Amino acid sequence: MEEFIFYSIILLWCLFLFHSFLLFLLFRQFGEIYLSSKEGIAKDGVSLGATLPSAEAYSMINKKTVNIKGISNKSSIILFLSPNCKPCRGIIDDWNKTQISYSKDVTFVMVIVGEEKEVFYFNNKYKLNGEILWDESKGLFTRFKVRVTPFAFAIDRNGLINNKGLCGSKEQLDMYVQSIISSEEEGGKSGDRYN
């Protein structure tokens, strides 16, 4: 009987460790699932109220490498997209129309990630308005902590992140534009509310 108890204890310890390992993996997987959910993705990107990160990309308008910090001294909308993503293609018409409507007050910057051929083809095909940057090395994507496209940032004239999130519809794009316009009207101190 004593021998039986000894072996049972050894096996129970093994099972305990096995179950602990299973629980560990299960909780990690819950975390991954949360990060893939709409709520998780909405929390992506540089924090609200933070300063616009400094990173370089190739300007397809000026045909040279530029730093995103020096692009504009106005408020700006930065939209990250990829040529292969369907929702990104769906937002382009609205992007072009919104850019025409608000170009006086807001600078529209589109950051495209992908291979040279597809990015240039994409740019020529859709005749994109605003400043178009090709993020060849994914430096901007990394610095802005973007995982999913289309993802937008609303930047106020002080270079602070005013709003951010997924941008797959006209309503969302309008929301980002309105958020910086209303913050300008309030005195351009949008960053203060996050401090």
Partner 1 sequence: MLTNLNSIIIAHVATFFFISGFMKVLSLKAFLQFVIEFKVLPKKLSILVGSLIPFLEIIASITFFFQQTWKFGIGLIFGLIIIFAYGVTQAIHSKRKIHCGCYGKWLNTEVDFFTLGKQMYLLLLALFITFSIPLHSVDHSILSIISGFLMTVIAMATHFIWHNYRKNVSYLRKTI
Site residues (vs partner 1, CB under 8 A)? 3-4, 6-7, 10-11, 14-15, 18, 21-22, 25, 28-29, 32-33, 35-36, 85, 147-149
Residue with smaller CB distance to partner 1, 80 or 102: 80
Tell me the closest approach of the beta carbon of residue 36 to partner 1, in angstroms.
Answer: 5
Please say which residue, 25 or 100, places its beta carbon nearer to partner 1. 25
Smallest distance, Å, CB 94 to partner 1? 20
Residues with Cβ < 8 Å from 22, sequence gap 6 or more?
Answer: none
Least Å from the CB of residue 35 to partner 1: 8
Given the complex with partner 1, which of 30 and 194 has the nearer CB atom? 30
Q: Minimal distance in Å, beta carbon 150 to partner 1?
A: 10
Q: How far is the CB of 32 from partner 1 (least distance, A)?
A: 5
If DSSP states are collapsed to H, E and C, what string results for the chain? CHHHHHHHHHHHHHHHHHHHHHHHHHHHHHHHHHHHCHHHHHCCCCCCCCECCCCEEEECCCCEEEEHHHCCCCEEEEEEECCCCHHHHHHHHHHHHHHHHHCCCEEEEEEECCCHHHHHHHHHHHCCCCEEEECCCCHHHHHCCCCCCCEEEEECCCCEEEEEEECCCHHHHHHHHHHHHHHHHCCCCHHHHHC
Our CB check for partner 1 shows the closer of 55 and 81 to be 81
Please say which residue, 102 or 134, places its beta carbon nearer to partner 1.
134
